[in-house]
Amino acid sequence: MIEELGPLAREIAPAKLNLALHVRGKRADGRHDIETVFAFCTDGDHLSAEPAHDISLGLVGPFASDLDAGDDNLVLTAAMALASAASVAEGAALTLDKRLPVASGIGGGSADAAAALRLLTSLWRIDPKHALAVAPTLGSDVPACLLSLPALGNGAGDELALLPASDLSGTPVLLVNPRVQLSTAAVFAAWDGVDRGSLNHWRDGGRNDLYPAARTLVPEIGNVMKWLDSQPSAEFVRMSGSGATCFALFDGEEARDAAAIAVPREWWHLATFLR
């Protein structure tokens, strides 16, 4: 996914989808035990970097104004942590083209941090083992986003087993968000605490246990789901992560594109494919 153009290198931070997300209980560390199936899109945020004396971050793109480029930005946190872990004395001038909505359940911050780890591993020519070690310290979704491949996630979502990509790769998918930011912590806090059982297969009995809580906090999510369900040839409709982004898998690109054209103007959408 890395494109080198002279001193400039670029990396895509693919949008993350949860094809299923079962919440099994709360852990002693405050996180939750989950079972989830991760899938990733061919599109997402774009991150670029070029050599520099210090580590810095600039923000561009349609959702740049929703982020802060300060030290609490997860891209900068990832870069600093990787430099420390690998004892790198170099810097990097990073630019994040923020194309995905913030706090939307599609892994934005985690995917961006993972892209930074991949990009800087290449730019600094360091052993990938450092990125693998740093990723879990940045967030539960970052290890999955670092791989950006279909995977079954257990534990807090950071215990991964890769799934056959051939089962999903190339599937047309439409992402729709009502342009409402939704806090992951708030959604988990509103979860009813009921363990509804283990995950067998994401298509057969799979569900998103956070959907009722998210819909209570942002009722518009229910409208998005209902709209996606009504689209011809939409084979599979779910909310991703803690919301508010929902998605539908389609049996063909033409049907997906027809649905994309019909998305209400007040909603954000992305017509893409699974990787």
Domain of residue 178, CATH code: 3.30.70.890
pLDDT at 4: 43
Pair 154, 172 in one domain: no
Pair 150, 213 in one domain: no
Map residue 44 onto helix, strand or coil.
strand
CATH number at residue 86: 3.30.230.10
pLDDT at 1: 53
Cβ pair 74, 13 in contact under 8 A: no
Last residue of a domain, one of 162, 183, 214: 162
Low-confidence spans in the chain with pLDDT less than 70: 1-7
Last residue of a domain, one of 108, 139, 162: 162
Tokens for 236, please give them: 């599979």
Tokens for 252, please give them: 């063909």
The number of beta carbons lying within 10 Å of the beta carbon of residue 29 is 7
pLDDT at 7: 62
Cβ pair 12, 115 in contact under 8 A: yes
Pair 92, 12 in one domain: yes
Give the span between the Cα atoms of 225 and 247, in whole angstroms.
8
Q: Could you tell me where the beta strands, DSSP code E, fall in the chain?
A: 3-5, 8-26, 32-52, 55-60, 91-97, 151-154, 159-162, 172-177, 234-239, 246-250, 268-273
Give the span between the Cα atoms of 106 and 109, in whole angstroms.
9
Domain range enclosing 205: 165-273
Pair 102, 149 in one domain: yes
Last residue of a domain, one of 162, 193, 212: 162
Following DSSP, what letter does each residue of 148-196 receive, concatenated? TS-EEEETTTTEEEE--GGGTTT-EEEEEE-S----HHHHHHHS-----
pTM for the full model? 0.93
pLDDT at 126: 97
Pair 143, 190 in one domain: no
DSSP code of residue 274: B
pLDDT at 204: 86
Give the span between the Cα atoms of 118 and 79, in whole angstroms.
10
Pair 79, 174 in one domain: no
Q: Treating both helix axes as pointing N-terminal to C-terminal, what angle do 129-138 and 74-85 enclose, rounded to 10 degrees?
A: 140
The Cα angle at residue 113 between residues 191 and 158, in degrees rounded to 5: 50
**Residue 45 backbone zone (phi > 0: left; psi -120 to 50: alpha; other: beta):** beta
Pair 145, 218 in one domain: no
Pair 203, 240 in one domain: yes
Pair 60, 88 in one domain: yes
Cβ pair 209, 226 in contact under 8 A: no
Looking at the 3D structure of the chain, how many domains does it have?
2
| Catalytic residue list | 16, 141
pLDDT at 200: 86
Pair 169, 157 in one domain: no
Pair 84, 188 in one domain: no
Pair 111, 17 in one domain: yes
